[in-house]
Amino acid sequence: MVDFNRKRLQVFVSSTYTDLIDERQAAVEAILSHGHIPAGMELFTSGDESQMDVIKQWIEDSDVYLLILGGRYGSIELNSGKSYTQLEYEYAIELGKPYFACVVNEAAQERRAKKYGPKKVTETENPKELKKFRQLVESKVRGKPWEDTKDIKIIVGETLVAFARRENLVGWVRADQVTVNPAVAEEMARLSKENEQLRSQIANGVPTEEIIDGLSFSEFKMLLEHNGLLEIIKQAAASEIQYWHDVTMNYFDEIEIKNLGFFEDDSAIKLTSSGRRFINKLNLEELKLKIDYVTVRDD
């Protein structure tokens, strides 16, 4: 079991930008002070559709979604007619992400309008859309309305304490604090040993490219990807899907994968030695990508 005091949750912070700079900073400070990891997309250009896929990936990778809602609706995504802030909120809900929201108190919003000027903190172009969005959020809201940054810090802190105790939220933990499943450890050791052997062969000038039927790893992988078969092959090898042949024939014309030396026959999924080498190399390649990604996040 993970030590709740050591588990670090990644919290995606969503809000409109220019009107909530101080409030978002307060949320980030509260997240950090409780030992968790804030994430947000404020550095991306507002309203850029090409960034939405990146934003979705960050939401997917986060453990918790936090919405800070003030008096602005935000930039509009043309196809949906909704703000990007609402699209982020709806995507988190669609994924079933644990979430909570800090919604500005109406009296506090009036005071903010007087202090900063209505154009800066009040929605003038899409007030009806903001009202509907606020009603949607308040119908599901977890937490209390906020009046100032102190309220936001309190709401964020109290909520994260509760979330950190949920066993279904894995979060981030230090590698030296994780008990590795013996089977996983054995598999990692096997892959590491094979990887070391490959490196040794490369260093000694021993050819290592040929994997299956005269094809190199990269060539065979490209062939599978081109025919839409790579994911099917991975699933078949991992979960022993017995009907892989019927599925792949729809994509692979009349060329059976067994003829390339991947499986031993056309009715089962027992890997040949060549097939095992390909899957092992593919696993190592994907493991390296994951390690590189975690390293980038840690940086």
Rounded alpha-carbon distances, angstroms, from residue 284 to 53, 88, 129, 248? 26, 33, 48, 24
Range from 59-63, 124-128, 206-210, 259-263 carrying the lowest mean pLDDT: 206-210
Domain parsing of the chain, residue ranges: 10-164, 180-298
pLDDT tens column, 62-113 = 999 999 999 999 989 888 899 999 999 999 999 999 999 999 999 999 999 9
Asked if 271 and 257 touch (Cβ cutoff 8 Å), the reply is no
Backbone conformation region of residue 214, classed left if phi is above 0, alpha if psi is from -120 to 50, else beta: left
pLDDT tens column, 273-287 = 777 777 777 777 776
Spell out the CATH class of 10-164: alpha beta
User: What percentage of the chain has pLDDT greater than the value 90?
Assistant: 37
The pTM for the full model equals: 0.58
The confidence score (pLDDT) of residue 282 equals 78
Range from 114-118, 177-181, 221-225, 281-285 carrying the lowest mean pLDDT: 177-181
Rounded CA-CA distance 268/264 in Å is: 8
Rounded CA-CA distance 82/77 in Å is: 6
Q: Which residue has the higher pLDDT, 283 or 291?
A: 283
Rounded CA-CA distance 76/26 in Å is: 26
